[in-house]
Amino acid sequence: MKNEIMKKEFSFYEFVGILVPGVMILFFGAISYENITGKTLVDFSKFGESLIFIIVAYGTGHILHSIGNLYESVFWKLFGGMPTQWLIKKNRFGKFLFSKTQTEAILSKIKNHFGDSPEKDYGMNVYNWLSLKEEVTVKRIDVFNANYFLLRGMTVTFYLLTISSMFFFSWKVVLAALVLGLLSNYRMYRFAKIHAIEIYRTYFNYE
């Protein structure tokens, strides 16, 4: 889902998408440490400690997204490929992105423009082309991509918290972390699908 060509506005969302998962897992770790030892690991009333916490959280967020890269590769295999691939092939549950008529019209325009792709995934080509057109704004598409990026990090974080909670907290906390992970995972799926739909729909409607 991540793309090398991005609008400047997306950098803020990208920063938040990395920082939030890092803050989540480090804050939970600090609470766990205090719960076990009775000592405070981070004093958030002190600016210096809070700043260091944010910096470490940002670095941790990158690590979590590295895990997220591995997770999404497995996750999308369960669906038969990324949503951008569902334009020309059904996912594992027999669904396309569009109706048959819409798919044929969009695919005809894409093939006339880009040719026949052996990878059968035109998402990257179409997005790159759109991003270079001054008449077309991809801000809406980037927002869906940014939310997907954030939710991927949150999904991995909640699943890791589910595992770690088993050692430090009651089953209620474990269940809460698992439910939040599943909800984040569902939202990740939804934003990935909408992102793919917006890419192809914007391209098709461009004259």
> Do 24 and 16 touch, CB atoms closer than 8 A?
no
139-182 confidence digits (pLDDT tens): 788 888 889 999 999 999 999 999 998 988 888 999 999 999 99
What pLDDT score does 118 carry?
Answer: 61
The predicted model scores a pTM of 0.84
- The number of residues making up the chain comes to 207
Alpha-carbon distance of 148 to 60, in angstroms, equals 18
75-98 confidence digits (pLDDT tens): 999 998 899 999 888 888 888 899
For the chain, the average pLDDT equals 87
90-134 confidence digits (pLDDT tens): 888 888 899 989 999 999 999 888 887 666 788 888 988 888 887
Alpha-carbon distance of 90 to 80, in angstroms, equals 8
Give the count of alpha carbons within 13 A of 83, CB side only.
20
What pLDDT score does 58 carry?
Answer: 93
